[in-house]
Chains A and B, each alone.
Chain A
Amino acid sequence: MKLAVVGAGAVGSSVVELAGEYGHTVTALADSRSAAVDADGIDPAAVLEHKRTEGVVGAEDKTAALEAEYDVLVEVTPTTLGDAEPGFGHVQTALERDRNVVLANKGPVAERYGELQDLAAASDGEIRFEATVGGAIPILSTITDFDAKHITAVRGVLNGTANFILSRMAAEGLGYEHVLAEAQDLGVAEADPSFDVEGTDAALKCVIIANVLAEGEREYTLDDATVEGIHELPASALELAKADDRTIRLIGEVSSETVRVSPRLVPADSALAVTGTRNIVQLETTHAGRLNISGRGAGGPETASAIFADIGRLGSR
């Protein structure tokens, strides 16, 4: 298939690099200021090198990518809240052109789910967004495969940065600020870590899960979530948890029409007590008990893997 990739960060770059391996051709790549377009396929190495040296992917205007020839628009621009722009506009343009859209950007799916579904319904194109939740882990597709009506609750660790901080604090007895600085040095945490440590990122993922579970009967946005983060949690809290064979994890929960993200006590040997940047999701099913799925919840190639899985699913409905 022909892919137009909007967003040239870690995920977008990985999609461009790996597309050939999956049998796809990238016909356009856009970053926030420019675009590289070639109906026969852009040269991944050259374009990414151009981005590295010049700071932009190409000489054309960003809109050229949206107007280019493609089967699938891969929307991987940074997540924005509220009106979820410019991501939402990109998706709209593609669907109105009857093209398919695969997103890793959480904004449009968490904040404007209903509008997104309406646009998709009116289009010959499809919309898929497995990569918005849990990186490489197949969460949304598993919910769909099991049928949302047969999933009673979903809970899990959905933010690798927060989990890294908590597991380092517990393992080393170090303070929050110390571990946060370390995470920033390692590139695990952003310079402004608030999106991760305040629980917003995990909450957006839970809202997306809630939307998928609700199957259009109700629409959820970030405002429907109760969110408490891990910022400023003292080392003494983790110490006390440890002394009782427990630990603290930032847990997202979706059940009986509530969405909640908060630091919670879990047994130290619980499946939910994953360490480092790992993510895990537990699905409670009506006839098959509990299902645990874990893996890498973030990263360029990991998220790109989920995007290629979605591209592979297009047309299967």
Chain B
Amino acid sequence: MTWSNSMSRSTAVFLGLAIALTACGKKAEPDVTPTPTQTPMNRGPNLDSLRADSLARARDAAAAAARDAAAAAEAARAALVNEMASAIHFDYDQFAIRAGDEAMMGAKAAILRANPALRIRVVGHADERGSDEYNLALGMRRAVAAKDWLVRNGVEAGRIETASLGEEVPLDPSSNESAWAANRRGEFEIMAGAQTLVAPR
């Protein structure tokens, strides 16, 4: 897109030159044989410098295009990172992966399969209602349930660490249903291999 913008900018400059030439030609109208075009050219930009400008513009455009491509790749990578890191949620005192989260889990598994260097840690969290210590075990069950799901879907177990923080790190510290629902979660941290990511085919 930026490349074509540069193209049209260059085109506009050449058109401008053409108009200038035409204007000069009108000025010389009384002469039957118009003087060579040197005079108006001397008053305007010279062709060599125009050519050099054009080359520089092309180089800039290529660099911009490369930057844009890198930005696009980074945006694509960031999208994959976000998809990898998005949290899943659990029912109260349960550790089964919800049916509604399976698409999200499938996307994570695909990213992991497409990027063998990618390593992650799943951290299980609980809401405040269970016992404080029991929630450490429950959070571990949740992390392991997520890991097991990914392993069943083709990801090597050795690439997934698990941990639990129980109810100790709530996303929302309030005591109501929506806070509890938000806090019963599995978080996915990328440990390694996220510098370059390939989108799954």
**Do the two chains bind?**
no
